[in-house]
Amino acid sequence: MHDQDVLSDYVDGMLDPERTCGVERHLSVCLHCRAFVQEQREVIARMRSFTLGHQGQHDLAAGLMHMAREVHRECAPIRPQGPATLATSAPAQYASARRSVACAVFAVAGCVGAALVAVQVPVGTTGGTPGQMQRGGSSVVRQLPRASSGSGTEPVADPVVRAAMVRSGGH
Protein backbone atom coordinates (compact mmCIF):
# COMPACT_ATOMS: atom_id res chain seq x y z
CA MET A 1 0.00 0.00 0.00
CA HIS A 2 2.35 2.78 1.24
CA ASP A 3 -0.05 5.46 -0.08
CA GLN A 4 0.55 8.42 2.22
CA ASP A 5 -2.64 10.19 1.12
CA VAL A 6 -4.76 7.20 2.13
CA LEU A 7 -2.86 6.87 5.40
CA SER A 8 -3.34 10.60 6.12
CA ASP A 9 -7.07 10.24 5.44
CA TYR A 10 -7.09 7.25 7.81
CA VAL A 11 -5.45 9.33 10.57
CA ASP A 12 -7.98 12.12 9.97
CA GLY A 13 -10.89 9.63 10.10
CA MET A 14 -12.06 10.47 6.58
CA LEU A 15 -12.25 6.91 5.17
CA ASP A 16 -15.39 4.80 4.89
CA PRO A 17 -15.62 1.78 7.26
CA GLU A 18 -14.67 -0.77 4.58
CA ARG A 19 -11.57 1.15 3.52
CA THR A 20 -10.67 1.79 7.18
CA CYS A 21 -10.79 -1.96 7.86
CA GLY A 22 -8.49 -2.62 4.89
CA VAL A 23 -5.99 -0.01 6.07
CA GLU A 24 -6.02 -1.44 9.61
CA ARG A 25 -5.31 -4.94 8.24
CA HIS A 26 -2.38 -3.52 6.29
CA LEU A 27 -1.08 -1.66 9.34
CA SER A 28 -1.07 -4.91 11.32
CA VAL A 29 1.70 -6.28 9.08
CA CYS A 30 3.50 -3.21 7.65
CA LEU A 31 5.99 -1.51 9.97
CA HIS A 32 6.67 1.33 7.53
CA CYS A 33 3.04 2.43 7.29
CA ARG A 34 2.48 1.94 11.01
CA ALA A 35 5.42 4.27 11.73
CA PHE A 36 4.00 6.84 9.29
CA VAL A 37 0.59 6.76 10.99
CA GLN A 38 2.19 7.11 14.42
CA GLU A 39 4.25 10.07 13.19
CA GLN A 40 1.13 11.76 11.80
CA ARG A 41 -0.71 11.28 15.08
CA GLU A 42 2.22 12.79 17.01
CA VAL A 43 2.26 15.85 14.72
CA ILE A 44 -1.47 16.35 15.21
CA ALA A 45 -1.12 16.03 18.99
CA ARG A 46 1.71 18.58 19.03
CA MET A 47 -0.25 20.99 16.88
CA ARG A 48 -3.26 20.73 19.18
CA SER A 49 -1.09 21.44 22.22
CA PHE A 50 0.59 24.42 20.55
CA THR A 51 -0.47 27.80 21.88
CA LEU A 52 0.06 31.08 20.13
CA GLY A 53 2.13 33.70 21.82
CA HIS A 54 1.43 37.40 21.70
CA GLN A 55 3.32 37.84 18.40
CA GLY A 56 0.73 35.92 16.34
CA GLN A 57 1.54 34.64 12.86
CA HIS A 58 5.31 34.99 13.07
CA ASP A 59 5.46 32.74 16.13
CA LEU A 60 3.09 30.27 14.48
CA ALA A 61 5.31 29.83 11.42
CA ALA A 62 8.47 29.55 13.52
CA GLY A 63 6.81 27.09 15.88
CA LEU A 64 5.57 24.91 13.03
CA MET A 65 9.01 24.90 11.41
CA HIS A 66 10.59 23.91 14.74
CA MET A 67 8.07 21.08 15.16
CA ALA A 68 8.67 19.89 11.60
CA ARG A 69 12.42 19.63 12.24
CA GLU A 70 11.79 17.55 15.36
CA VAL A 71 9.40 15.19 13.57
CA HIS A 72 11.84 14.34 10.78
CA ARG A 73 14.24 12.63 13.16
CA GLU A 74 14.96 8.94 12.63
CA CYS A 75 12.01 6.78 13.68
CA ALA A 76 12.70 3.70 15.76
CA PRO A 77 11.16 0.51 14.35
CA ILE A 78 7.95 -0.61 16.01
CA ARG A 79 8.21 -4.01 17.64
CA PRO A 80 5.23 -6.33 17.29
CA GLN A 81 3.21 -6.90 20.46
CA GLY A 82 2.91 -10.69 20.07
CA PRO A 83 4.26 -13.48 17.91
CA ALA A 84 4.19 -12.86 14.19
CA THR A 85 1.23 -14.59 12.56
CA LEU A 86 -0.05 -14.50 9.02
CA ALA A 87 -3.82 -14.30 8.81
CA THR A 88 -5.75 -15.40 5.75
CA SER A 89 -6.85 -11.79 5.37
CA ALA A 90 -3.24 -10.55 5.07
CA PRO A 91 -2.41 -8.34 2.09
CA ALA A 92 -1.55 -10.00 -1.21
CA GLN A 93 2.18 -9.30 -0.85
CA TYR A 94 2.32 -12.11 1.74
CA ALA A 95 0.34 -14.67 -0.28
CA SER A 96 3.50 -16.19 -1.77
CA ALA A 97 4.68 -17.33 1.68
CA ARG A 98 1.50 -19.35 2.11
CA ARG A 99 1.89 -20.81 -1.37
CA SER A 100 5.52 -21.82 -0.70
CA VAL A 101 4.59 -23.57 2.53
CA ALA A 102 1.79 -25.45 0.77
CA CYS A 103 4.18 -26.55 -2.01
CA ALA A 104 6.72 -27.74 0.56
CA VAL A 105 4.06 -29.79 2.38
CA PHE A 106 2.97 -31.43 -0.87
CA ALA A 107 6.60 -32.17 -1.79
CA VAL A 108 7.24 -33.85 1.56
CA ALA A 109 4.03 -35.87 1.21
CA GLY A 110 5.12 -36.97 -2.26
CA CYS A 111 8.54 -38.05 -0.98
CA VAL A 112 6.95 -40.04 1.84
CA GLY A 113 4.59 -41.70 -0.64
CA ALA A 114 7.47 -42.56 -2.98
CA ALA A 115 9.43 -44.03 -0.07
CA LEU A 116 6.46 -46.20 0.93
CA VAL A 117 6.08 -47.45 -2.64
CA ALA A 118 9.82 -48.18 -2.86
CA VAL A 119 9.66 -50.32 0.28
CA GLN A 120 6.83 -52.40 -1.20
CA VAL A 121 8.49 -53.04 -4.61
CA PRO A 122 9.82 -56.59 -5.17
CA VAL A 123 13.58 -56.72 -4.60
CA GLY A 124 15.07 -59.89 -6.05
CA THR A 125 14.48 -63.53 -7.03
CA THR A 126 14.38 -66.45 -4.60
CA GLY A 127 14.75 -69.46 -6.80
CA GLY A 128 15.82 -70.57 -10.22
CA THR A 129 13.19 -68.74 -12.27
CA PRO A 130 13.13 -64.98 -12.73
CA GLY A 131 9.32 -64.93 -12.24
CA GLN A 132 9.57 -65.79 -8.56
CA MET A 133 10.03 -62.51 -6.68
CA GLN A 134 10.66 -61.84 -3.01
CA ARG A 135 9.15 -58.90 -1.07
CA GLY A 136 11.00 -57.00 1.64
CA GLY A 137 14.19 -55.10 2.27
CA SER A 138 16.71 -57.95 2.01
CA SER A 139 18.50 -58.68 -1.23
CA VAL A 140 19.25 -62.12 -2.60
CA VAL A 141 22.81 -62.86 -3.71
CA ARG A 142 23.25 -65.73 -6.12
CA GLN A 143 26.39 -67.55 -7.15
CA LEU A 144 26.82 -67.95 -10.92
CA PRO A 145 29.75 -69.42 -12.80
CA ARG A 146 31.81 -66.97 -14.87
CA ALA A 147 32.59 -68.04 -18.37
CA SER A 148 35.76 -65.97 -18.75
CA SER A 149 37.59 -66.88 -15.55
CA GLY A 150 38.19 -70.27 -14.09
CA SER A 151 38.05 -69.02 -10.50
CA GLY A 152 34.60 -70.45 -9.79
CA THR A 153 31.71 -68.22 -8.79
CA GLU A 154 31.05 -64.53 -8.27
CA PRO A 155 28.08 -62.98 -6.37
CA VAL A 156 25.40 -61.32 -8.54
CA ALA A 157 22.71 -59.35 -6.68
CA ASP A 158 20.33 -58.32 -9.45
CA PRO A 159 18.80 -60.33 -12.32
CA VAL A 160 19.20 -57.29 -14.61
CA VAL A 161 22.93 -57.13 -13.82
CA ARG A 162 23.19 -60.87 -14.32
CA ALA A 163 21.51 -60.62 -17.75
CA ALA A 164 23.83 -57.78 -18.75
CA MET A 165 26.85 -59.84 -17.70
CA VAL A 166 25.66 -62.82 -19.74
CA ARG A 167 25.17 -60.62 -22.82
CA SER A 168 28.60 -59.05 -22.48
CA GLY A 169 30.35 -62.37 -22.13
CA GLY A 170 30.72 -62.39 -18.35
CA HIS A 171 32.61 -59.09 -17.88
Indicate the class that CATH gives domain 1-78.
mainly alpha
pLDDT at position 125 is 47
Burial bucket for residue 27 (CB in 10 Å: 0-12, 13-18, 19+):
buried
- Residue 123's pLDDT band, with cuts at 50, 70 and 90, is low
pLDDT at position 107 is 92
Instruction: Read off the pLDDT of each residue in 13-33 and give the average, rounded to a whole number.
Output: 89
Beta-carbon count within 10 A of 36 CB: 19
Q: What is the DSSP letter of 158?
A: -
Higher pLDDT, 160 or 18: 18
Higher pLDDT, 50 or 136: 50
pTM of this prediction?
0.33
CA–CA separation, 141 vs 157, rounded Å? 5
CA–CA separation, 30 vs 28, rounded Å? 6
Delimit the domains of the chain by residue range. Answer: 1-78, 93-121, 124-167
